[in-house]
Amino acid sequence: MGFQLSDSFIADENRRLLAWLLEDYESLGRRLARRGVEVERLTERAMAFRVAVPSWGVGTGGTRFARFPGPGEPRDVFEKLEDCETILKLVRVTPGISLHIPWDRPERPAELKAFAQARGLVFDSMNSNTFQDQPGQRLSYKFGSLSHTDAGVRRQAIEHNLECLELGGKLGARSHTVWIGDGGNFPGQVHFRRALDRYLDSLRRIYAALPEKMRLFIEHKLYEPAFYSTVLNDWGTSYYCARELGERALSLVDLGHHAPNVNIEMIVARLVQLGKLAGFHFNDSKYGDDDLDAGSIRPFQLFLIFNELVDAEKEAVAGFEPSYMLDQSHNVTDPIESLMTSAVELVRAYVQASLVDRAALEAHQERNDATLALHTLKQAFTTDVGPILAMARYRAGGAIDPVASYRASGYRARKAEERPSTMGVGTGAGIV
């Protein structure tokens, strides 16, 4: 058993910050009361928020060009779960883990499940990987997987997904997420309609094997690794496929998988309305699939997405049950700090969106008052809800200041001693 962050260490850290937090929380509470908002209700919501952490996010990521391994990187899935537990202890909203197969294929699933359970962790989504070749693999995915022209390659890719489903069943996972790199680099390379037919046909076989308790999430992406066309390129195609497949097939939105300036919050609203929103891979980006920390580039967009989600929640839209996951992995930060930061930013956007005066917004919309409608949103977005987030963490046993406490714990240095460097398991190749 290696070094672990103890609850008493977090409590000691919090003691230093508590007096100020109480002061800030109280004054925010008074300001919100003037607007008819009860601060305690928001704190309860912040405490109830959940987002899953990706196993691939705790390794140092890379770009297409290079990978710079960090000290104390987890060397196997058990060590990855240790890092996920550390994140959970500090922020208290991340009990779910999203696993990537084969990067995290456990030899003994029951052992991994028990290991997770003992740490308060659960398996959220399984993720298949047919976007790169694995050592010893019989057929190559160089020209596609589920939509490949060769039925043999398609079969191999389907079987891999079936293996993920079986594993997911054993681990108690709630969903299976399929993202493929299939597409073309040059005009004419791929027959658009036939490729989509083949993809759908493969997915039908996967869907047929879906364990009863699991849902199937399909993830679109407009480009990369294919640069000219992808098979599941946008939300409309994703919606069509999800509808063709059946009730438990849903469309997942990865924020980094759209063209620049696309109105993602509107896509979210459409999928909610059509009953097909699976959930999210949260991250942020400036140019493409940058996989930066959530809210680091476009916090207002993140808020507007949560505005749609909270609106659907408050209206109790039938079948609305989105699954939140982080999907990020980049090069320059300590991944534990980045994942904690993203989790906190999501709770922030959720609480801010919960602050929107929906009755007022609706009235402004009815009167076509664009100015006051925007003001209503901005009033919520510009409210510093930091004390609510800190109070929620504190009450749940987490850290008032997660990154500061993490650094003070010396966790990374201790892990660097315990986990002598290998080449690093990371995320695998650098295309993601």
Positions in the binding site for Mn ion (CB under 5 A)? 254, 281, 289, 327
Query: Which partner, Mn ion, ligand RM4, none, binds residue 345 by CB below 5 to 8 Å per kind?
Result: none
CA dist 99 and 7 (Å) reads 26
Size of the site for ligand RM4 (CB under 6 A): 9
Q: Pick from 214, 264, 326, 432: which binds ligand RM4 (CB under 6 A)?
A: 432
CA dist 427 and 78 (Å) reads 15
Q: What radius of gyration do the chain's Cα atoms show?
A: 22
Residue 86 in tokens: 């550390």
Question: b/e string for 309-330 if b means 16 or more Cβ within 10 A?
Answer: bbbbbeeeeeeeebbbbbbbbb
Q: 160, 130 in Cβ contact below 8 A?
A: yes
Binding to ligand RM4 (CB under 6 A): which residues in 35-94?
Answer: 56
Binding to ligand RM4 (CB under 6 A): which residues in 304-333?
Answer: 327
Q: What angle do CA 60, 63, 66 make, to 5 degrees?
A: 80
Q: Considering the complex, state which of residue 238 and residue 307 has its C-beta at the smaller distance from ligand RM4.
A: 238
Phi, psi of 106 (to 5 degrees): -85, 140
**DSSP H helices in 49-191:** 77-91, 109-118, 151-171
Residue 410 in tokens: 């010396």
3-state DSSP assignment of residue 63:
coil
Residue 145 in tokens: 């997987």
Q: What angle do CA 181, 197, 222 make, to 5 degrees?
A: 35
H/E segment holding residue 363? helix 358-366
Q: Considering the complex, state which of residue 343 and residue 432 has its C-beta at the smaller distance from ligand RM4.
A: 432
Task: Fill in the per-residue mask, 379 to 418: x = in contact with ligand RM4 (CB under 6 A), - = not in contact.
Answer: ----------------------------------------
Strand bridging mode 175-178 / 122-127: parallel
Kindly state whether residue 303 participates in binding ligand RM4, applying the rule CB under 6 A: no
Closest separation in Å from C-beta 221 to Mn ion: 6
Q: Considering the complex, state which of residue 178 and residue 309 has its C-beta at the smaller distance from Mn ion.
A: 178
Closest separation in Å from C-beta 424 to Mn ion: 20
Closest separation in Å from C-beta 327 to ligand RM4: 5
Of the candidates 54, 50, 225, 76, the residue with the CA atom closest to the CA atom of residue 126: 54
Closest separation in Å from C-beta 116 to ligand RM4: 19
Q: Considering the complex, state which of residue 241 and residue 432 has its C-beta at the smaller distance from ligand RM4.
A: 432
CA dist 344 and 338 (Å) reads 10
Binding to ligand RM4 (CB under 6 A): which residues in 215-244?
Answer: 219
Query: Which partner, Mn ion, ligand RM4, none, binds residue 73 by CB below 5 to 8 Å per kind?
Result: none
Angle separating helix axes 109-118 and 151-171, nearest 10 degrees: 40
Query: Which partner, Mn ion, ligand RM4, none, binds residue 127 by CB below 5 to 8 Å per kind?
Result: ligand RM4
Q: Considering the complex, state which of residue 123 and residue 179 has its C-beta at the smaller distance from ligand RM4.
A: 179
Closest separation in Å from C-beta 220 to ligand RM4: 10
Position of minimal CB gap to ligand RM4: 432
Q: Pick from 79, 82, 182, 254: which binds ligand RM4 (CB under 6 A)?
A: 254
Closest separation in Å from C-beta 128 to ligand RM4: 9
Binding to ligand RM4 (CB under 6 A): which residues in 257-286?
Answer: 281
Binding site for ligand RM4 (CB under 6 A): 56, 127, 179, 219, 254, 281, 289, 327, 432
